[in-house]
């Protein structure tokens, strides 16, 4: 059975392995042991409540209970942009009109903004390639919303997700090459690493302070604006099913889109009820189930018999959740 559990410091080796598999442009999963070790320490402190809720960054692992192997991971950052700005480009339309010749021109432009301060971010969703079918991705993605719904006061009313931008067949980012590199003048990997391992001051120092007219950008970079990486298309589909929409914001490095949704409009959260757990004949309905608290959070997808006040699941599923008969459990069909 696949189970979602909190990340812990002992996961460093497998997290490094997943970081290598994730490839270029997966900013939140850098191939840097010190950064990932700090991320795991922060995750442990977040789940136990050892830090302020706004500073929490929860990392969850998808584990196969039969083999003990971690098959993927995802994250929920309680609030971005509080201790340092969270920059994006907003794609804006600038209208210009000349009364002398009776002509109007609408120009698209990229404008550096810092609009996301305090928003909750779901991200870092990555699965081993061989696990990208059969519902594992959906379990991992939706479990992030079960986590948020367990204790919603720890999170923002607005939830955002940044998707990896487009990279061509040679592994190069047209947006980086055509736009961002003109300002930062670093190798992409170095800038990518610095996003996670520094305070981000270099972005504030070097990012463009004036609008960039899209018509002046080369064709490949222009077509990459808001385009999702081929490996990110399933994640985009899952986000859209939950009610996320494009916000008009894009990543300043690779041009990937930022999706947003109000927390109370996320489909998984809206469909969730808290019921009493019973162990027995589970029936045939597949349901997403989770614990009711963030500390020790766990989630599974399993057959369930759902009633008005109780839900019946197998002992295997209850053991995966580390719950007993009579305990409260959150259920989303």
For residues 138 and 160, give the distance between their C-alpha atoms in angstroms, rounded to a whole number: 17
Residue partners of 205: CB distance under 8 A and separation at least 6: none
Task: Return the number of other C-beta atoms located less than 10 Å from residue 175's C-beta.
Answer: 30
DSSP-based three-state secondary structure for 75: strand
- Helices 136-150 and 233-242 pack at an angle, to 10 degrees, of 40
Residue 217 to residue 238: CA distance in whole angstroms: 31
Instruction: Report the catalytic residues.
Output: 229
Q: Please report the sign of the dihedral spanned by the C-alpha atoms of residue 18, residue 298, residue 268, residue 119.
A: negative
Separation between Cα atoms, residue 212 and residue 287, nearest integer Å: 47
Rounded Cα gap, residues 175 and 171, in angstroms: 12
Q: Residue 313 in 3-state DSSP?
A: strand
Q: CB–CB of 273/331 below 8 Å?
A: yes
For residue 55, give both structure tokens: 């500073």
Classify each residue of 293-329 as buried b or exposed e, where b means 16 or more C-beta atoms within 10 Å of its C-beta: ebeebbbbbbebbbeeeebbbbeebbebbebeeeeeb
């Amino acid at each position: 059975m696949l189970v979602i559990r909190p990340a812990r410091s002992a996961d460093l080796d497998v997290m490094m392995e997943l970081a290598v598999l994730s490839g270029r442009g997966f900013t939140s999963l850098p191939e840097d042991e010190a950064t990932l070790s700090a991320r795991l320490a922060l995750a442990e402190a977040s789940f136990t409540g050892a830090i302020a809720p706004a500073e929490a960054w929860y990392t969850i692992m998808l584990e196969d209970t039969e083999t003990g192997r971690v098959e993927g991971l995802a994250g929920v950052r309680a609030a971005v942009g509080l201790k340092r700005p969270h920059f994006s480009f907003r794609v804006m339309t600038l209208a210009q009109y000349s009364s002398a010749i009776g002509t109007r021109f609408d120009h698209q432009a990229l404008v550096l903004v810092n609009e996301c301060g305090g928003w909750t971010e779901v991200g870092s969703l990555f699965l081993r390639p061989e696990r990208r079918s059969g519902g594992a991705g959906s379990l991992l993605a939706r479990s992030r919303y079960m986590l948020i719904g367990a204790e919603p006061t720890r999170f923002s009313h607005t939830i955002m997700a940044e998707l990896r931008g487009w990279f061509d067949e040679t592994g190069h980012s047209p947006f980086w090459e055509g736009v961002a590199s003109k300002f930062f003048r670093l190798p992409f990997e170095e800038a990518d690493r610095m996003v996670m391992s520094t305070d981000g001051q270099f972005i504030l120092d070097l990012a463009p302070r004036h609008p960039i007219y899209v018509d002046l950008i080369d064709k490949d970079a222009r077509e990459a604006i808001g385009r999702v990486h081929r490996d990110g298309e399933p994640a985009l589909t899952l986000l859209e099913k939950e009610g996320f929409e494009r916000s008009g914001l894009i990543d300043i490095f690779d041009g990937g889109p930022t999706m947003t949704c109000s927390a109370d409009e996320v489909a998984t959260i809206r469909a969730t009820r808290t019921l009493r757990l019973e162990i027995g004949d589970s029936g045939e309905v597949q349901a997403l189930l989770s614990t009711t608290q963030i500390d020790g959070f766990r989630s599974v997808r399993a057959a369930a018999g759902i009633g008005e006040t109780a839900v019946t699941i197998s002992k295997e599923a209850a053991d995966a959740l580390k719950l007993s008969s009579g305990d409260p459990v959150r259920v989303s069909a």
